[in-house]
Amino acid sequence: MKQKSAKNKLSGEAGFEEYYAGLYGERWQSIKESFAGEGSAVEYHVTGAEKSYFLDSASVLAALCLPLEGATDILDLCAAPGGKTLVLASRMPVDANLSSNERSPERKHRLSVVVETCLPTSISERVKTSCSDGATWCTRQSECFDRILLDAPCSSERHVIADPKYLNSWSPSRIKTVTTEQWSLLSSAYRLLSPEGILLYSTCALCPEENDGMIERLYKKFNKEGDAFALMSPAPDLSEISDFAQITLPGFEQTKYGYMIMPDKQNGAGPIYFSIIKKNKSCAKSL
């Protein structure tokens, strides 16, 4: 009990510092320093598109790690502003369709503009944008997508540090709120995934509860016997996007259930966590 109340007292900039220094130890200082740099933006230009899009090389890598060979129905559940949707769309097989969804109407508008201007018509006509709550999508459909990207809303510490308004109002309860949201989205995404389908879960959070913690929950809920899903190793194939971006892919560190691209070690790229899950059998009984 004592420990819990001490944790709850953490708040604002000092609380944020203490919390993340506790998680990362001596490394925290170099992580913060890497946030102050320029990052690792790359220009992504899909041949035939009106405009280019700029995104972090770690985001390109994460979207490249969702294998698309043989896919026909692809879902990007939390897609705005659309960087990873572009990477998926530009790599998808010619007979595949991509559903690109975003809950916020304003951000969905931005997503639609990105799809229309940063993809040639031959691809954008196979990308359908929608504006709905990804967490409840599984109440309308089930096991109908063979590839899903869930790039979940997260603590995004890099942005918290950059904005005194967020830093001053930070508290650990924010992590609790975010993980509740992430779990609703991840369990919905898992239910939407076809047997034999592949789901890539990602965040830009540093907090392990939002990363490996979510995959651990997925194991507890859907994989008690150990045969319902398996983790896959990343096998990014740079040749799939070499026409669209001049990029050196950042490296990644292994965690218990996934991978982290850390800006202090990867020239400012990231942070991005991702885990790749291959569903082996239907979860219809758990629906």
Ligand X SMILES: C[S@@+](CC[C@H](N)C(=O)[O-])C[C@H]1O[C@@H](n2cnc3c(N)ncnc32)[C@H](O)[C@@H]1O
Shortest approach of ligand X to residue 206 CB, angstroms?
14
Using DSSP, state whether 147 is helix, strand or coil: strand
Shortest approach of ligand X to residue 153 CB, angstroms?
4
DSSP 151-213: E-----HHHHHH-HHHHHT--HHHHHHHHHHHHHHHHHHHHHEEEEEEEEEEE----GGGTHH
Shortest approach of ligand X to residue 83 CB, angstroms?
4
Using DSSP, state whether 32 is helix, strand or coil: helix
Ligand-binding annotation for 38, yes or no, is: no
Residue 141 binds ligand X (CB under 6 A): no
Shortest approach of ligand X to residue 50 CB, angstroms?
18
CB contact at 8 A, 98 and 128: yes
- Residue closer to ligand X, measured from CB, 213 or 223: 213
- Among 135, 269, 272, 277, the residue binding ligand X under the rule CB under 6 A is 135
Quick one: three-class SS letters along 43-97? EECCCCCCCCEEEEHHHHHHHHCCCCCCCCEEEECCCCCCHHHHHHHHHCCCCCE
- Among 15, 81, 120, 172, the residue binding ligand X under the rule CB under 6 A is 81
Residue 79 binds ligand X (CB under 6 A): yes
How many chain residues bind ligand X (CB under 6 A)?
Answer: 19
Shortest approach of ligand X to residue 227 CB, angstroms?
29
Annotation marks residue 204 as catalytic: yes
Q: How far apart are CA 287 and CA 5, in angstroms?
A: 37
Ligand-binding annotation for 56, yes or no, is: no
Residue 32 binds ligand X (CB under 6 A): no
Two tokens at 68? 């698309």
Residue 80 binds ligand X (CB under 6 A): yes
Residue 82 binds ligand X (CB under 6 A): yes
Beta bridge partners of 24: none
- Residue closer to ligand X, measured from CB, 84 or 223: 84
Interface mask toward ligand X for 170-209; x: CB under 6 A: ---------------x------------------------
Two tokens at 179? 């993980």
Span from 9-17, 80-88, 193-201, 214-222 in contact with ligand X (CB under 6 A): 80-88
Quick one: three-class SS letters along 96-127? CEEEEECCCHHHHHHHHHHHHHHCCHHHHCCE
Q: Going by C-beta distance under 8 Å and a sequence separation of 6 or more, which residues neighbour residue 31?
A: 20, 24, 206, 262, 263, 264, 271
Using DSSP, state whether 230 is helix, strand or coil: strand
- Among 107, 217, 221, 265, the residue binding ligand X under the rule CB under 6 A is 107
- Binding site for S-adenosyl-L-methionine, by residue number, is 78-84, 102, 133, 151
Interaction site with ligand X (CB under 6 A) = 59, 78-84, 101-104, 107, 133-135, 151, 153, 185
Active site residues: 204
